[in-house]
Amino acid sequence: MRLKAPEKLVSFTFDGRQLQGVPGEPVAAALLANGVKLVARSFKYHRPRGVMSAGSEEPNALVTVGRGAQREPNMRATTLEVSEGLEVLSQNAWPSLRYDLMAVNDLCAPFLGAGFYYKTFMWPKGFWKSLYEPVIRRAAGLGALSGDASLDQNEKAFGFCDILVIGAGPTGLMAALTAARAGADVILADEDTAMGGRLLREVEEVDGQPGPAWVQKVLGELSAMKNVRLMLRTTVTGAYDQGTYSALERIAGPRLPDKPVNCFWRIAARHAILCTGALERPIAFPNNDRPGIMMAGSVRSYINRWGVAPGQSVTVFANNDDAHRTARDLHAAGVKVAALIDTRADIAAQADYPVFAGAQVVATQGRHALKSITIAQQGVTHTIKTDCLAVSGGWNPAVHLTCHMNGRPVWSPRIASFVPTPDSVPGLVAAGACNGVFDTAGCLRAGAEVGAEIAKELGRKPKMSVPVADDAAYRISPFWAVPGRGRKWVDFQNDVHVKDIALSAQENFRSVEHMKRYTTQGMAPDQGKSSHVVALAILADATGRGIAETGTTTFRPPYVPVPIAAMGAGGEGKGFAPARLTTSHSASIARGAPMVEAGLWYRPSYFPATSETHWRQSCDREVRLVREAVGICDVSTLGKIDVQGPGAAALLDFVYANTLSTLRPGRMRYGLMLREDGHVMDDGTAARLTEDHFVITTTTAAAGQVMRHLEFVLQVLHPDLDARALSVTEQWAQFAVAGPQSRALLESVLEVPLIEWPFMSCGDIDLSGVKGRLFRVSFSGELGYEIAVPARYGESLFRMLVAQAETFGGGPYGMEALNVLRIEKGFLTHAEMDGRTTAFDIGLDRMISRKKDCIGQAAARRPGLVDPMRGQLVGLRAIDAAQPLWAGAHLFGTDAQATRENSQGHLTSVCYSPTLQGHIGLGFLQSGRDRHGETMRMVDHLRKAQTLVEICDPVFFDPDGGRARG
C-alpha cells in the first residue's frame, strides 16, 4: 500500500492486469503498492516467489517486458522503471503464475536434491538422446526470447578520466566532490535512477539537513563543474587491464525505434574508487522463501524512498542493530510492526512494539503470500500473524569488482563478512561500505580521504571538508541458519537450501568451487550476491573449517547481466558484416556477374556469356581462356601490409618461417607464417621494394589476423625493432593478369618490354602518368603478373585490362575459375590451412629455417606435429571422371566400413577440371605422401554420396612450373 497519494500515476500491466504506478519508480515498488505479492517462480522447484530486495541483487522478481521482437526476459523488477503502457509478464510458469503445473517438482523434491542429475541421467544409456536431453532442454532457462530479430538499438561509447568513482552513495559523492574541487577529471557512475545511495532510503541527517537535501546540494555543485561527468543508470560491470572498465548505461524513457535502450561504455581511468556499498544477506530458516519475506534494508527503501509499505503488519527478524532501523522507520511511517525478533539475547530495546530477544523464526505459513510465522524463544513457541517479514543476517561489502583480476577478499570478524584485498586491481581503491565501513560518518570521511589522496597523486592540491553525520557503530552477532528440520533456503533463484550444501560436503565436494557447481549455489543471474556468504558459512560448518579457510568463489564480470546486443553495439546487420566492395564491383555487375562473399568482401563468382545457362559453363570457359589466352581477375581483396624501417627485414624474419632478409630489392619470395603453437597461420608473398621497404600479402580471410599478429610482435615480443606495419589493403587496387598472352597484353598497356622482368620480381611502373606497381607472380600456374594502382584508378584500370584482354581472345574470370586454376596447381587457401594443419602436413616443413629464430619454430618440430601418421596433403582424382567429389567428405579403405573410427582423411577443396577433363580435389590423408597411386573410397554421409578416388600428387598441372616461369 502507498503511505500517501502520489502526485502523478501512470498505467502499466502485469500479466494482463492493469495497475498504476509512479513514473520512474521500480516495478517492484508499484507491485507492492498494488498488493501484488506473488511475482515469480523459482527455477528448479517452481516455488512461489515475491520481491526480496530493492536493487540489482534481486534473486526472485525476474520478469519479462514486452512482446514479439521487443520481448526482453529476466528483467529485475527492482531496477525496471515504471512507464506509461509498460507491459510486464511473469515467467517460468505455465499455464499461469498462480497455478503453475511445474510446481509438481516441489512435490518431487526428495528425488531432486543437489547433484541428482549426475546420478540419474547415466542410465539407461539410450535414454539420454531420446528422453533426458529433450526434457532438460525444454526445462532449462527462466524467461524465453521471442526468436524474432530485436528492433532495439544499442550504442557503444568510450570514456576517459583521471578518476572513475563507482557508486554515488555518501562515499562516492564525497570522493567525487573532493577530487573534482581539486581539479581532477572525474566520472561518477551509479546504477540507480538517482544518486545518493543509502542517504535516499534512510532517515538520517548530514550537516544538519536531511540526507536527500544534502545529496541534492552536492549534485548541484558537481553538475556545474566542467571536469565532472555524472552517469545515472550506469553499472560498472567489469575491471580489466590497464585501468579499463566496462559499464552498462540503461537509457531512460519509452522504447522508440530511433532511440537506443542501452549504451555499453569502455572507460579508461588513471585511478578508480570503488564505492559500491554493501548488500544485505538473509538468514536461513524453514520456508524462508515465501512471498512477503524480504530484506530488512529493502523494506526501509520502499518505505522511505518510494513511500510504499510492503505489508500491513510487518515483522523484523535480525541478528544486528542495523535492522532495528527498519522497525523504527516502519513505526514512524504508521505501519504496524507486529514484532522485532533478534537472535541476540543481550539486546536492550525499548519500543512501542513487541521485542523478542534471543528468539528465532522456526516456521512460516502461507503458500502464495506470507500469512504468519512461528518463533521460538527459550523453548517456547509463538505464532505471529504478519504479511511481511523483514530479515537481516548482516551486510556483505560489494567486493565483486576487486576480484575481477583474480583478487581474493579476506574475512573480517568485525563485520562477519569479507572485505577487499588492497591493490587486487591496479589503480582501484575500495572505500566506504564496500570496504567494511558501515556508518555514514565513516563513509563520508573515507570518501573524502581517498579522493584527496588520489588528487595529490595527480599533482593536485585538495582541501578536505567532511560533513557531520551519524556514526553509530555496526553491531552484529553472526547467525547463519536456524537449526532443526525443514528446508532452509540459501540461493532463492536456484532453489539451493542448507541440506544441499551439507550433502555436497558429505559427498566430498568440499572445495567452495566444487560445492558451487554441485549445488548450483551462486550460478543464477544474480551470481549469489545475497547468498554466497551464508552458503560459505554453512559449508564451513559442514566441513569443520573456519569461513576464512573455506574462502570465496570466484567473482567474474559482468557484475550484472549485460545484453549481448549492448556489448556488440554497432555489430548487427551490416555492422556485423559490412559489405566491402572492390573498385571493379560496378563493372563486374554490369557484366552480369553474380557476387559471392569472400571474407568480408563481395567478389564476382563468374562472368556469364550470353549463350551460357549454367555456372559450370562459364567457369570452364574462364579456366580455358586463362590456360590458352589471358584472363583478368580482381585480387584487391588480398591483404596488403606495408612494412618499413631499418628493422623491417628482421621483423619479417621473425614472423615468417623462412628467411626474407636475404631478399634483394626488386624481388619477391613466398612466405609461410606460423602461430606460436607451430601450426600454420597464413601464407603469402613478400616483395622488397627498397632496402627498408617491404609489401607483404596475406590471404583475404587472414588479413586482419596477420595485421594484429604483427602489431603484437612489435609491441610485446620485439619492441626493440625499428619497424612499422600499416595495412594498405584498401589503398591499392590490384589485378591479376594471367595466361600465355599476359606479357603481350601488359606490354601494350605499359608500352615497355617486360622480357627483363624475371619470375618473382617487382617494381614501380608508370601507367599513363599514374604511379603503380607490378609484381610477376602467379596463382594460376600460368605466366602471370599482378598490377597495382591507387584505388581511385581501380575501376578504370579493370575496364581497360578487360577490354584489352578481349582483343587477345581472353576476358575476366571470377572466383570459381580462380579456385579451379589453383586446385589444378595444388596451391593452398584457408580451406587447407584451417588452423589445424602444420608445415609438415602441407609438405613445406623444409621452409622452416634452422638458421634463425622465428615464431612457431620450436613448436612445429614437436613429435606430434611431424608424426608420419598425420594427415598429409594429397591430390585426388575421381576414378570415374563423371563422378563429382565433395569437400568435407572422408576417405576410407575400399573394403572398410565408413565409420568415424575408420576415417583416414578428408577432402578440403574439389572442382571439375576442364584442363584434365575430370573431377579432382585436394585433401589430407594419413601418410599421404607415401601413398600416391592407391585407390580409396570417398564417402559423404551428408550428401549420401560415395565414389572411388586415386591418391596422387597435389600438383596436377605443369608440375615443373615451366609455364609460370616462361
3-state secondary structure 606-648: CCCCCCCCCHHHHHHHHHHHHHHCCEEEECCCCEEEEEECCCH
- The residue among 396, 142, 143, 389 whose CA lies nearest residue 289 is 389
152-166 pLDDT, tens per residue?
889 999 999 999 999
Phi, psi of 254 (to 5 degrees): -70, 155
Q: Is 323 within 8 Å of 392 (Cβ atoms)?
A: yes
pLDDT of residue 348: 77
**What's the mean pLDDT in 384-400?**
96
Spatial CB neighbours of 807, under 8 Å, sequence gap ≥ 6: none
Bigger pLDDT: 21 vs 526: 21
Taking the C-alpha atoms of residue 112 and residue 123, their distance in angstroms, rounded to an integer, is 16
- One of 3.30.1360.120, 3.40.1050.10, 3.30.465.10, 3.40.50.300 is the CATH number of 585-637+731-822, namely 3.30.1360.120
pLDDT band, very low/low/confident/very high, at 137 (cuts 50, 70, 90):
confident
Q: CB of 304 within 8 A of CB of 312?
A: no
Residue 901 CB neighbours (<10 A): 6
- The distance of Cα 714 from the centroid of its chain, to the nearest Å, equals 27
Q: What are phi and psi of 543, to 5 degrees?
A: -100, -5
Model confidence at 112: pLDDT above 80: no
Tell me the three state secondary structure of residue 711.
Answer: helix
The CATH label, of 3.50.50.60, 1.20.1090.10, 3.40.50.300, 3.40.50.1860, for the domain at 153-278+398-457 is 3.50.50.60
Residue 849 CB neighbour total at 10 angstroms: 15
Domain spanning 282-393: CATH superfamily: FAD/NAD(P)-binding domain (3.50.50.60)
- How far from chain centre, in Å, is Cα 743? 52
Which residue type is seen at 507? E
- The three cell numbers locating residue 724: 612499422
Q: What is the mean pLDDT of residues 126-136?
A: 74
Contact 236, 166 (CB under 8 A): yes
Top pLDDT among 45 and 130 is at 45
- 3-class DSSP state for residue 691? coil
Residue boundaries of the structural domains of the chain: 10-112, 153-278+398-457, 282-393, 479-545, 585-637+731-822, 868-965
> Could you give the C-alpha distances from 242 to 164, 719, 733, 830, in angstroms and in order?
13, 18, 39, 35
> What is 14-83 written as a DSSP string?
ETTEEEEE-TTSBHHHHHHHTT----EE-SSS--EE----SSTT-SS-EEEE-SGGG-EEEEETTTPBP-
What mean pLDDT do residues 954-962 have? 95
C-alpha span between 8 and 23 (Å, rounded): 7
> What's phi and psi for 580, nearest 5 deg?
-100, 120
Of 648, 721, 718, 635, nearest to 686 (Cα)? Answer: 648
In the predicted model, what is the mean pLDDT of residues 565-592? 90
| Residues whose CB falls within 8 Å of the CB of residue 356, separated by 6 or more in sequence, listed in order | 339, 340, 341, 342, 375, 377, 382
Q: How many CB atoms lie within 10 A of CB 39?
A: 26
**In terms of residues, how long is the chain?**
966
Distance of alpha carbon 510 from alpha carbon 550, whole angstroms:
9
Mean pLDDT of 729-734: 97
- Type and span of the H or E element at 535: helix 532-543
* DSSP β-ladder status, 918-926 and 905-913: antiparallel
Mean pLDDT within 552-561: 90
Radius of gyration of the chain (CA): 36
Confidence of residue 608 (pLDDT cuts 50, 70, 90): very high
Between CA 731 and CA 773 the distance in angstroms is: 13
Is the CATH code 1.10.150 the one for domain 479-545?
Answer: no
Residues in Cβ contact with 531 at an 8 Å cutoff, skipping those fewer than 6 apart: 59, 281, 282, 490, 491, 492, 496, 521, 522
- The pLDDT-based confidence of 254 (bands split at 50, 70, 90) is low
- pLDDT value at residue 510: 87
Is 133 a residue whose pLDDT tops 80?
no
Quick: pLDDT tens for 767-807. 989 999 999 999 999 999 999 999 999 999 999 999 999 99
What is the CATH number assigned to the segment(s) 10-112? 3.10.20.440
Average of per-residue pLDDT across 485-496 = 91
Give mean pLDDT, residues 849-868.
94
Residue 640 and residue 796: Cα distance in Å, rounded?
Answer: 21
Q: How far apart are CA 937 and CA 949, in angstroms?
A: 6
pLDDT attached to residue 527: 85
pLDDT on residue 347: 87
For CA atoms 33, 38, 43, 45, the dihedral sign is positive
Q: What is the pLDDT of residue 577?
A: 80
**Residues 418-423: what's their mean pLDDT?**
94
3-state secondary structure of 732: strand
Residue recorded with cell 498462480 = 98
Give the burial string for 275-287 (b: 16+ CB within 10 Å, else e): bbbbbbbbbbbbb
State the cell numbers at 347.
Answer: 539486546
Give one word for 963, left, alpha or beta, with left for phi > 0 and alpha for psi -120 to 50: alpha
Between vectors from CA 769 to CA 764 and to CA 775, what angle results, nearest 5°?
Answer: 25
Is 966 a residue whose pLDDT tops 90? no
Give SS3 for 857: coil
For the chain, the average pLDDT equals 93
Question: Considering only CA atoms, which of 690, 672, 691 is closest in space to residue 680?
Answer: 672
CB 695 within 8 A of CB 660: no
**Residue 174 parent element (H or E):** helix 170-181
Q: Could you tell me the three cell numbers for 440?
A: 555514514
- The CATH superfamily of 868-965 is Aminomethyltransferase beta-barrel domains (2.40.30.110)
| Closest to 284 in 3D by CA, of 340, 230, 360, 374 | 360
Half-sphere exposure of 704 (CA within 13 A, CB side): 4
CB 447 within 8 A of CB 215: no
Separation of alpha carbons 501 and 523, rounded Å: 14
Give CA 266 to chain center in angstroms: 14
What is the C-alpha separation between 184 and 178, in angstroms, rounded?
A: 9
Sheet holding 293-295, edge to edge: 293-295, 388-392, 313-318, 336-342, 355-357
* pLDDT (mean) for 106-123: 72
Residue the block writes with cell 502464495: 368
Q: Which pLDDT does position 108 carry in this prediction?
A: 74
Return the beta strands (E) in 653-761 as ranges.
667-674, 680-690, 693-698, 724-727, 732-738
- Give me the pLDDT at residue 553, please: 87
Rounded to the nearest angstrom, the gap between the alpha carbon of residue 736 and the centroid of all alpha carbons in its chain is 40
In tens, the pLDDT along 699-719 reads 998 999 999 999 999 999 999
**Among candidate residues 857, 863, 849, the one with its CA nearest the CA of residue 678:** 857
Tell me whether domains 153-278+398-457 and 282-393 share a fold. Answer: yes
Q: Which band of pLDDT confidence, cut at 50, 70 and 90, is reported for residue 405?
A: very high
**Residue 371: is its pLDDT beyond 90?**
yes
Percentage of the chain beyond pLDDT 90 is 81
On the CB side of 950, how many CA atoms lie within 13 Å of its CA? Answer: 12
Pair 266, 156: CB distance under 8 Å: yes
Arithmetic mean of pLDDT, 285-302:
96
DSSP assignment string, 792-851: GGHHHHHHHHHHHHHHTT-EE--HHHHHHHHHHHT---TTT-SSS-BTTTTT-GGGS-SS
In whole angstroms, what is the distance from residue 604 CA to residue 171 CA?
Answer: 62
- pLDDT of residue 144 exceeding 70, the answer is yes
